[in-house]
Amino acid sequence: MKTYFRYGRSIGSGPTLYIASHPDYRVAGVILHSPISSGLRVLKPTIKQSPSYDLFPNVEMISHTRCPVFLMHGTDDREVPIVHGRSLVQNCKNAFDPWWVEGAGHNDIDIRFRKIYFLRIAKFVKYLFEMFSKKTEEDLKTLHKVENWTINHMYFKKRGVKYILNWIRTVGIYFGV
């Protein structure tokens, strides 16, 4: 079984976290770029818990992700405020040194801060290689196992397996996940 990195930007963080938290996918690490904490929280930030009809309950999904997660978010992001990134880091069990990009907006981190952007990603990838080089073969086999994942998980309850997998294929391909 191959192991992959996943990169999710903005709304693409939804399919990325779904794959990273699902036991059938083996994910070595996740990079989240200006992610949303929840689809509905973008529209109504006061929501405390994602309702069943929220297609992107990232803030809940990230707690099921066992691989390291590197998150970057601009402090001046007007489309998806930085509070989204901070709430994801708070709920992440394996967060890697988040990068709060001072003065960056939603779509300019990789443009205005290009050199640092690539250096930060390289630092994360180096960390992953060092981490995996210390693991035994048995440890690597359990990489994809996720805690508390059952057929009663909120994704399955809401829409059903076939709907979600087709949705992820469509949205994930569109957003380059």
pTM for this entry: 0.78
pLDDT greater than 80 at residue 95? yes
Is 69 strand, coil or helix?
A: strand
pLDDT over threshold 50, residue 156: no
Mean pLDDT, residues 90-117: 95
| Percentage of the chain exceeding pLDDT 70 | 74
Q: Does domain 4-174 have CATH number 3.40.50.1820?
A: yes
Split at pLDDT 50, 70, 90, the class of 47 is confident
3-state SS assignment for residue 100: strand
Q: Which of 99 and 149 is assigned the larger pLDDT?
A: 99
pLDDT of residue 31: 96
> Active-site positions?
10, 77, 106
Query: What residue type is 14 in one-letter code?
Result: G
pLDDT of 158 reads: 47
- Cβ atoms within 10 Å, residue 18: 27
Structure tokens at 76: 């001046």
pLDDT, average across residues 3-12: 88
Give me the long-range contacts of 152-160 (CB less than 8 A, separation at least 24): 154/50, 154/52, 154/57, 154/60, 155/18, 157/52, 158/52, 158/53
